[in-house]
Amino acid sequence: MSLCAATLAFPVTAFGQAAPPLSERTAQSDLPLDGPRADMLLEHVTLSIAVDPASQSISAEGVYAVIMRGGQSSLAFDLDPRFDIASIQVDGAALPEIAWSNPDGLLSIDLPAPLSAGDNVTVQIAYSGSPHVALNAPWEGGFVWDRTPADEPWIATAVQGEGCDMFWPCIDHSSSRIGTMDTLVTVPDGLIAAGNGRLVETVENDDDTTTFHWSARDPSNYGISLQIGPYELTERLYESRFGNTIPIQFWHLPGNNKDARRLNAEMASYLDFFETTIGPYPFGDEKAGIVETPHLGMEHQTINAYGNRFRPSALGYDWLLAHEFAHEWFANQLTHASINHMWLHEGIGTWMQPLYLGWARGEMFYASEMWRQRQMIGSRVPLVPSEGTLPDYNDREAGWGIDIYAKGAWIMHSLRYLVGEDVIFPALTRLTYGTDNPVPGEIAPINRTTDDFRVILEEMSGHDLDWFFDAYFYQAELPRLVISRGGDQLTMEWQSRSELAFEMPVELRYGGSTMRIPMPGGAATITLPEGTGHVQIDPRNQILRHDEEIVRARESG
């Protein structure tokens, strides 16, 4: 997805008044886990949430089964302080209002008695209010209150950058997963709430509302979402190569049935590709879900938001649908341990797109898409920022929010060249599932860092890769290949900001043959056969390196 600038300074409520901006804490995700948040394991959450399109407000109650990892005299949740908290109960006992406070987005709850490691406690939080309106979903997130072409309510949430605390009390950190979660969404009659996991039941209430009860296992925090509209459902079944049957379900606006059926067929093709290339679909016991949304898209677990308007493409696939579906593996199954490693989601997921095109339509499509992505790379800041820092996705000058896609994909492209097909794809399987032989029904999400990937690749290739990872992930500038030739002597030398020698081997093509030149210490000199004319360096363009022509074209506008 490309970056877009927000056009509004503040969101506007249903009554035309400027809503307050997000608190500094709520506007950020993945703030360090400390205090009670570090010691709370959310075993189960039941979130009951009533959505009122007329007032653009919600009324909700969250019930949390918490297991303590350590001793604490208080609990803490992340929650946007714009919400009014009506009550909090601990193990069924109501707390006095003085027992909790939420001045900045960290909801602190004083316990009646201290808890020890291993203790279980049930917390019930009732709250209500008008959630933050998205400035430019999905890049600047919140609630989207829109209308369909038939002027019916069309509502969505997109909170990846800012976090789950924008509309429900949670632990807003990538490493904090929930065991199981039931979401009961109540909406006016005539609307449908498409949700995470599997649909348990639909209840028609006596007050002209309907409640949709969804149940999900192992959901990520920002992957919990609301999508509400006058939806119709198009579905089909996919027979997996792993022996299970996966429902493909698309909730779309009325009139889009034909396009939805076409994209459902595409989804079956994506499933075939991913299960062949990486491994089994992680959530086959629930669904492979899509929902049409008023914003562009987001990888909500088992219910990917789709707003690409069914646009046809000469590439023969829907790039947005393919990208968001890749996140079921690289975001929802493999989850970065902190936002610093977000390239694991976006870069690997982006690389899956040209890989799919090469698998489906041929190598020309792979090469052309890689070239398009290569021109987007800025490399002005490290792809993996220092631990403890929170990179700004929307900082156009830094360009990190673009590099995690394009540079991440190109690093994968170069890794494929360096370690070979027989290593890179099995390594991705192990990285994604924590095992070499994932089996449906035995899969659970796993948190990963960039260094985890390095260790796996080193184990499987038998080679030290510190030099590769330092140069590409922890240094901003791309390595440069300096080439000089005198007669039959050709000298190549890598220059990198890394203190480690960049030892990427280089392919040469001349006289109708191709040879791979090792670069021990980051340099090599070879003697060419007498009379050798033109020599192509890296003829298949497999190495991510500084390209002066791209720089010159970018600077010229």
Q: Residue 13: its pLDDT value, please?
A: 39
Tell me, what's the pLDDT at 97? 98
- 64-92 per-position pLDDT tens digit: 999 999 999 999 999 999 999 999 999 99
pLDDT bracket for residue 14 (50, 70, 90): very low
Tell me if 99 sits within 8 A of 87, measured CB to CB.
no
The proportion of the chain whose per-residue pLDDT surpasses 90, expressed as a percent, equals 94
Q: Is 262 part of a structural domain of the chain? A: no
345 is in an annotated binding site: no
pLDDT class for 500, splitting at 50, 70, 90?
A: very high
| pLDDT tier at 19, thresholds 50, 70, 90 | low
The domain spanning residue 181 has which CATH number?
Answer: 2.60.40.1730
Listed residue (429, 424, 427) closest to 439, CA to CA: 429
The pair of structure tokens assigned to 332 is 């929802």
- Amino acid identity for residue 151 in this structure: D
| Among candidate residues 229, 258, 278, the one where a domain is terminated | 229
471 pLDDT band, cuts 50/70/90, is very high
Find the domain containing 486 and state its range. Answer: 480-555
Cβ neighbours of residue 464 closer than 8 Å, sequence gap 6 or more: 458
pLDDT at 330: 98
319 within some domain: no
Q: Supply the pLDDT for residue 16.
A: 39
Kindly report the number of other CB atoms within 10 A of residue 462's CB atom. Answer: 9
Q: How many angstroms from the chain centroid is the CA of residue 294?
A: 19
Question: Confidence class of residue 107 from pLDDT cuts 50, 70 and 90?
Answer: very high
Instruction: Quote the distance between the C-alpha of residue 207 and its chain's center.
Output: 38
Domain-terminating residue out of 474, 509, 533: 474
Work out the average pLDDT over 357-377: 97
Mean pLDDT of 185-202: 98
Rounded to the nearest 5 degrees, what angle is found at the Cα of 270, between the Cα atoms of 266 and 272? Answer: 115
Q: Tell which of 474, 507, 540 closes a domain.
A: 474
The CATH number covering residue 536 comes to 2.60.40.1910
Q: Which residues contact 211 (CB under 8 A, 6 or more apart)?
A: 184, 185, 186, 202, 203, 205
Average pLDDT over residues 354-371: 98
Q: Are residues 517 and 393 in the same domain?
A: no
- 173 annotated ligand-binding residue: no
CATH (domain of 462): 1.10.390.10
Q: Summarize the confidence of residues 148-153 as an average pLDDT.
A: 98
How many independent structural domains does the chain possess?
A: 3
pLDDT above 80 for 466: yes
Residue 238 in domain: no
Lowest-pLDDT range, 224-228, 248-252, 378-382, 386-390? 386-390
Q: Where are the beta strands (DSSP E) in 388-466?
A: 446-448
- Establish if 248 belongs to a structural domain: no
Same domain, 442 and 539: no
How is residue 383 written in tokens? Answer: 């792809």
DSSP conformation class of 442: S
456 and 541 belong to one structural domain? no
Question: What average pLDDT does the segment 201-211 reach?
Answer: 98
Task: Answer whether residue 141 shows pLDDT above 60.
Answer: yes
H or E stretch at 412: helix 400-419
Residue 64 lies in a domain: yes
Mean pLDDT of 266-290: 98
Is 404 found in the same domain as 515? no
Q: Looking at residues 274-284, what average pLDDT do you find?
A: 98
452 with 515, same domain: the answer is no
Query: Which pLDDT score, from 0 to 100, does residue 15 have?
Result: 36
Give me the mean pLDDT over the 205-214 stretch. Answer: 98
Helix, strand, or coil here: 143?
Answer: strand
Q: Which of 299, 376, 386 is nearest to 339 (CA)?
A: 386
Burial class (CB in 10 A: 0-12, 13-18, 19+), 503: buried
Q: Is the pLDDT of residue 132 over 70?
A: yes
Confidence tier at 17 by pLDDT (50, 70, 90): very low
Q: Report yes or no: 160 and 141 within 8 Å, Cβ to Cβ.
A: yes
Asked if 135 contacts 298 with a C-beta cutoff of 8 angstroms, the reply is no
Asked if residue 199 is part of any domain, the answer here is: yes
Cα separation values, 353 from 46, 274, 315, 430, 481, Å: 35, 11, 11, 20, 28
Instruction: Check the annotation: does 97 bind a ligand.
Output: no
Residue 557 has pLDDT above 80, yes or no: no
Query: What is the structure's pLDDT at 389?
Result: 84
Pairing of strands 198-204, 209-217: antiparallel
Domain shared by 424 and 546, yes or no = no
Question: What pLDDT is stored for residue 512 in this prediction?
Answer: 87
Q: Return the closest-CA partner of residue 324 out of 294, 301, 356, 341.
A: 301
Query: 521 and 427 share a domain?
Result: no
Q: How far is CA 335 from CA 57, 140, 216, 255, 433, in A?
A: 31, 21, 16, 36, 10
pTM: 0.95
Q: What percent of the chain has pLDDT over 70?
A: 97
401 shares its domain with 501: no
Q: What distance in Å separates the CA atoms of residue 35 and residue 38, rounded to the nearest whole number?
A: 6
Indicate if 426 and 525 belong to the same structural domain. Answer: no
CA 529 to chain centre: 50
Tokens of 216: 């999900």
- Hey, what amino acid is at 33? L
Domain match, 63 and 118 both: yes
Residue 190 inside a domain? The answer is yes
Instruction: Calculate mean pLDDT across residues 374-392.
Output: 93
Q: If you average pLDDT over every residue of the chain, what do you get?
A: 95
How do beta strands 180-188 and 40-52 pair? parallel
Note whether residue 13 is domain-resident. Answer: yes
Question: Same structural domain for residues 375 and 457?
Answer: yes
Q: E strands within 436-540? A: 446-448, 480-486, 489-495, 506-510, 513-517, 523-527, 536-537
What CA–CA distance (Å, rounded) separates 233 from 290?
10
Same domain? For 519 and 425 the reply is: no
Mean pLDDT of 332-337: 97
